């Protein structure tokens, strides 16, 4: 079977058997989709490059450690790693607005209060 037509699971198995080219094919196959998603969310090319690199470092380390469980969902797994790294970045940089309940005269998380008030 030609490497470019090989399934992701086959490429992973070949990589684990020592074929570095299989990893390159795997990354090349999915890089545009993963990078586009990261860039769409973070809206900064340099940051997207960093998160993209971190994503595939984590992918490679997990595969090498034997922790990746093949379920036919490789790209979904990679996208979840990218998503989690994006969330980690926003948490660390505090670019996500944090709602502080103490800033209000009422409990903003008390949905019953809002329900009763709207009736």
Looking at residue 53, what is its pLDDT?
98
| pLDDT value, residue 86 | 95
CA angle 93, 98, 45 (to 5 degrees): 35
Task: Specify if 102 maps to a domain.
Answer: no
What does the pLDDT look like over 8-64, one tens digit per residue? 999 999 999 999 999 999 999 999 999 999 999 999 999 999 999 999 999 999 999
Asked if residue 101 is part of any domain, the answer here is: no
CATH of the domain at 73: 1.10.1740.10
Q: Minimal CA–CA distance to 56: which of 33, 31, 36?
A: 31
Domain presence at residue 113? no
Q: What is the pLDDT of residues 55-102, one digit of tens each?
A: 999 999 999 998 998 887 899 999 999 999 999 999 888 765 555 556
Backbone angles phi, psi at 72, to 5 degrees: 75, 20
Residue 62 belongs to a domain: yes
DSSP secondary structure code for residue 99 in this structure: P
Residue 119 belongs to some domain of the structure: no
Answer yes or no: are the C-beta atoms of 68 and 16 closer than 8 Å.
no
**Would you say residue 1 has pLDDT above 50?**
no
Let me know if residue 66 belongs to a domain: yes
What is the pTM (predicted TM-score) of this model?
Answer: 0.73
Domain of 28 in residue numbering reads as 3-96
Domain annotation covers residue 40 = yes
Q: Which pLDDT score, from 0 to 100, does residue 94 have? A: 73
Domain total for the chain? 1
**Residue 116, domain member (yes or no):** no
The residue ranking higher by pLDDT, 54 or 3, is: 54
């Amino acid at each position: 079977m030609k490497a470019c037509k090989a399934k992701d699971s086959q490429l992973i198995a070949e990589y684990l058997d020592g074929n570095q080219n299989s990893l390159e094919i795997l990354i090349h196959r999915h890089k545009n989709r993963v990078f586009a998603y990261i860039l769409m969310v973070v809206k900064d090319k340099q940051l997207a490059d960093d998160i993209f690199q971190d994503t595939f470092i984590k992918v490679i380390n997990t595969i090498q450690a034997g922790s990746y469980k093949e379920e036919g969902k490789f790209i979904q797994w990679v996208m979840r790693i990218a998503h989690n790294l994006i969330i980690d970045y926003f948490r660390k940089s505090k670019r996500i607005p944090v709602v502080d309940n103490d800033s209000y005269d009422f409990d903003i998380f008390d949905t019953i209060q809002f329900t009763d008030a709207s009736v």
